[in-house]
Structure 1
Amino acid sequence: MPPEGPGRPAAPAADALPVLHGIRVLDLGRYIAGPFCAALLGDLGAEVTRIERIDGGEDRGVTPVAGDGTGALFLQVNRNKRCIALDIARPEGQAVLRRQVAQADVVVANLPPPTLRRLGLDYETLAAIRPDIILTTTSAFGEGGPLGDRPGFDGVAQAMSGAMHLSGEPGRPAKLMVSCVDFATALAGAFGTLAALHERQRTGRGQQVSGSLLGTALTIANNALIEEALLHPGREAAGNRSPLGGPSDTFRVRDGWIIVQVMGDPLFRRWAALIGRPDLADAPRFATDQSRGDHGEELSALMAAWCAGHDVESALSALAAARIPCGPVLAPRQVLADPHIRASGAFRALDYPGLPQPAPIARPPVSLSRTPPTIRRRAPQPGEHTEAILAESGYDTAAIAALARAGIVRLAREPDAVPAAHPA
């Protein structure tokens, strides 16, 4: 387990409140784009309440790691939240939801537009309850096209953006096996929500923040799409080799793999000197990044020959001494043991009931010097805070018990402990 090393973010200043102190967020998202957006707002100090199905929802079990089947993904994207288990499809559940909305500043929901309308989560319905509400939504394809009402996941967006066509090998498209589009969409959603909150401070008015997985994927792939629109190169996949410079590829060394990325004339000249071929720096076919990308197979072959005489440590040491961007290709187990990652304090160790050991939850991807985002609370169990949240909303004990008997809410009486960070 990586420790919380000396590089961990600084503690908040003694006189500083969190950035989003006093902001209340309702999270009705599922899987990644919505829940992680809400988690990022929670990292910044917002009070986030996850509203989920009575049975806990289908997104709890992705990559199960806990005794109750809770998954690694859920632990990551639902930190800093309390949870109420609520059947919002029934009229009594809708009444509970409306009371929560009336007390909220932000509602996050990554659901198709028809589902939002059916559940009363569209902007017009929410604004009728609280006029200055901010609704942050994410759909698969966005509105305005024939696919707007369809569901979709990260991989579909990767496929439709051109990214899969350009990945893998020719004739064999490949999907990135981490959900880059989902997480980038969540980051964009948090960015838009912060902008809407800032605007509300000036005008007192709410608005809807909208994003889509496809829109995010097209943004990520935009460089390739611009090139195709203007120059029509018809690019195909080239494995890990970049078509835009070189050598930029993955290479086998005696005890593993490394990645090397040479871009720009100064880097190329240093690389050519490193492998003992300074003449390459003046060869016309390698005069620009694009020409080096066009002749990338030749450059990768030269680099592969150099790498064959090295192990990971010696190759990276020589490349780093030449100031050439490089790194090891690490398996997940190696990531957790990597000296730099351990020293940087990249993870917050949090317990969850039924885990064999504390889980390494990645810290927020940005920090602030005086009011840094923090991970204060583990992900919740199903309905763990239902009773407390309803009581705060004005329901008395009898009313809460009646809702539970009717199956409108699910109660859980586990103690609401917030575990401290664990040492290595």
Structure 2
Amino acid sequence: MRSANAAGRIPVGLSGLRILDLGRYIAAPFCAALLADQGAEVIRVEPRVGAPDREVMPIGLEGRGALYLQMNRNKKSLALDLDAPEGRAAFERLVASSDAVIINLPPAALRRARLDYDSLKACRSDIILTTISAYGPEGDSRDRIGFDGTGQALSGAMSLTGTGERPLRAAVSYVDYATGMSAAFATMAALYERRVTGRGQHVRTSLLGTALTMTNPMLIEEAAGTRSRKAIGNRSPIAGPSDLFTTQDGWVMIQVIGDGMFRRWAQLLGRQDLLSDPRFISDITRGEHGEALSAVMAEWCAARSTDECLEELETAKIPGCRVLTPAEALVAKENASGGFFYEEPIACGRGSVPIASRVIRTAASEVFGHQPAPTLGAHSAELLAALGYGAEEVASLTDGASVTGRI
């Protein structure tokens, strides 16, 4: 466990809390990673052969793909066979010394694996169990499995993405990431309540619940009968011009929101006549007639280079930026100078990779810094010995091998 100054001169963050991470892929592991960033001791528990999410998006490191590197920074790794009686006993001993357990499984699967709240509560009466399921804890679908795309599809978001010819999935797994964030918040709320009441609880979150939260304004509009949203490409439905535009040498994203900004935009383009057009008297009407405004903006951008567009927009205090490829995003000054990444050394590729673990900055996270995602079982012997197991028992639980993984 990472330490901090007991006198309080150095921020302590979540140090002193022990979190067990039994999650896989994004939502649950990301929840646990956010807690680890703040100083909690987070132990990733997985089978001795390794979990399947270790190889997602491979980059040439055996057992540690790109997704794994991001989701499991600042954690310890315990490789344990929970199906074997001795492995289960070790796990239950570990639960008894932990504050919270984080898992992404539906209710029925939790019970089958004996990872449900009642089973864990038998190990520690005030344990916090945070679970993430696809469909939520209620309803006929509660035990079905699903992923990020499940939330995107069922919330209505896919039908609103693209230009209308067909539904489109977002390129990034925003439902997974947002659910991980909300689960971390919920876990902290439960831990705070336990500090006041002494009681543990089962915290339940879901991918579908997160996705429905994000499309809720559109669902409210639909239910109220005010409008039925349709896919409109890259335009904003609530303001304009807000769209993606081609320049002489690239693409720019421009977003005009608010009456003051719209007046500055009209002055920049020499189109003050648009200020008296009844179609453009407010953000909502500008959003509803955004196609016409985008056409005006597109003509202006097409006559300029990207640099020229952005310079003139900056002078007029109108938000605009380049549209980058992943390769360009790695070296863009906004990203490189923003301090969002830890550059983690690796033994392949360009020599290091950027891990975006400095997005939420607290005094504690700055003190605790960054530790690379662990190799499989890197901390198994240490953790088992701390639970009271002798050398022979540790050897048995780890197959007698040095379970440190491979770089």
Q: CA deviation at 1:354?
A: 5.5
Letter in 2 for 1:239: G
The reply on whether 1:326 has 2:317 as its aligned counterpart is: no
Q: CA deviation at 1:415?
A: 9.7
Counterpart in the other structure of 1:360: 354
Pair 1:353–1:37, CA change in 2 (3 A): farther
Letter in 1 for 2:220: I
Contact (CA 8 Å) 1:18, 1:371: kept in 2 or not? Answer: no
Counterpart in the other structure of 1:22: 16
SS at match of 1:341: helix
Contact (CA 8 Å) 1:18, 1:372: kept in 2 or not? Answer: no
Deviation string, structure 1 residues 237-284 (Cα, Å, up to 9, x no partner): 011011221111100011111111111111111111111101101111
Counterpart in the other structure of 1:249: 243
How many positions carry a matched residue from both structures?
401
Pair 1:355–1:200, CA change in 2 (3 A): farther
Q: CA deviation at 1:203?
A: 1.1
Pair 1:68–1:369, CA change in 2 (3 A): closer
Counterpart in the other structure of 1:109: 103
Letter in 1 for 2:172: V
Letter in 2 for 1:266: G
Q: CA deviation at 1:33?
A: 0.5
Q: How does 1:89-108 map to 2 (within 5 A)?
A: 89-108=83-102
Decide which of 69, 74, 77 is 1:83's aligned counterpart. Answer: 77
Pair 1:144–1:414, CA change in 2 (3 A): closer
The reply on whether 1:135 has 2:126 as its aligned counterpart is: no
Counterpart in the other structure of 2:67: 73
Pair 1:165–1:95, CA change in 2 (3 A): same
Deviation string, structure 1 residues 42-89 (Cα, Å, up to 9, x no partner): 000000100012221111111101331521010001000110111112
* RMSD (Å), alpha carbons: 1.9
Q: How does 1:187-206 map to 2 (within 5 A)?
A: 187-206=181-200
Q: Distance in 1 between matches of 2:294 and 2:121?
A: 57
SS at match of 1:82: strand
Letter in 2 for 1:25: I
Bigger Cα displacement from structure 2, 159-168 vs 355-364: 355-364
Question: Unaligned 5+ residue runs, structure 2?
Answer: 1-6
Contact (CA 8 Å) 1:351, 1:359: kept in 2 or not? Answer: yes
Pair 1:208–1:170, CA change in 2 (3 A): same
Q: Distance in 1 between matches of 2:160 and 2:387?
A: 51
Contact (CA 8 Å) 1:102, 1:129: kept in 2 or not? Answer: yes
Q: CA deviation at 1:371?
A: 6.0
Contact (CA 8 Å) 1:141, 1:148: kept in 2 or not? Answer: yes
Counterpart in the other structure of 2:156: 162
Pair 1:14–1:414, CA change in 2 (3 A): farther
SS at match of 2:130: strand
SS at match of 1:259: strand
Counterpart in the other structure of 2:4: none
Bigger Cα displacement from structure 2, 293-302 vs 24-33: 293-302
Pair 1:41–1:369, CA change in 2 (3 A): closer
Q: Distance in 2 between matches of 1:360 and 1:14?
A: 31
Q: CA deviation at 1:231?
A: 2.5
Runs of 4+ in 1 over 3 A off after TM superposition: 352-356, 369-375, 413-416
Q: CA deviation at 1:405?
A: 3.4
The reply on whether 1:215 has 2:215 as its aligned counterpart is: no
Counterpart in the other structure of 2:304: 310
The reply on whether 1:274 has 2:265 as its aligned counterpart is: no
SS at match of 1:188: helix
Pair 1:341–1:356, CA change in 2 (3 A): closer
Contact (CA 8 Å) 2:375, 2:404: kept in 1 or not? Answer: no
The reply on whether 1:286 has 2:286 as its aligned counterpart is: no
Contact (CA 8 Å) 2:266, 2:274: kept in 1 or not? Answer: yes
Bigger Cα displacement from structure 2, 90-99 vs 183-192: 90-99
Counterpart in the other structure of 1:336: 330
Q: Distance in 2 between matches of 1:359 and 1:394?
A: 37
Pair 1:415–1:54, CA change in 2 (3 A): closer
Q: Distance in 1 between matches of 2:378 and 2:352?
A: 19
Q: CA deviation at 1:163?
A: 0.7
Counterpart in the other structure of 1:5: none
Counterpart in the other structure of 1:225: 219
Deviation string, structure 1 residues 74-133 (Cα, Å, up to 9, x no partner): 000100011011111222221111011011001010111112111221111111110111
Q: CA deviation at 1:363?
A: 2.4
Question: Unaligned 5+ residue runs, structure 1?
Answer: 1-12, 417-424
Q: Distance in 1 between matches of 2:371 and 2:200?
A: 28
Contact (CA 8 Å) 1:316, 1:327: kept in 2 or not? Answer: yes
Q: CA deviation at 1:413?
A: 3.7
Decide which of 253, 257, 264 is 2:258's aligned counterpart. Answer: 264
Decide which of 39, 48, 57 is 1:54's aligned counterpart. Answer: 48
Identity of aligned residues (%): 49
Bigger Cα displacement from structure 2, 71-80 vs 13-22: 13-22
Decide which of 401, 412, 420 is 2:403's aligned counterpart. Answer: 412
Q: Distance in 2 between matches of 1:351 and 1:357?
A: 6
SS at match of 2:19: strand
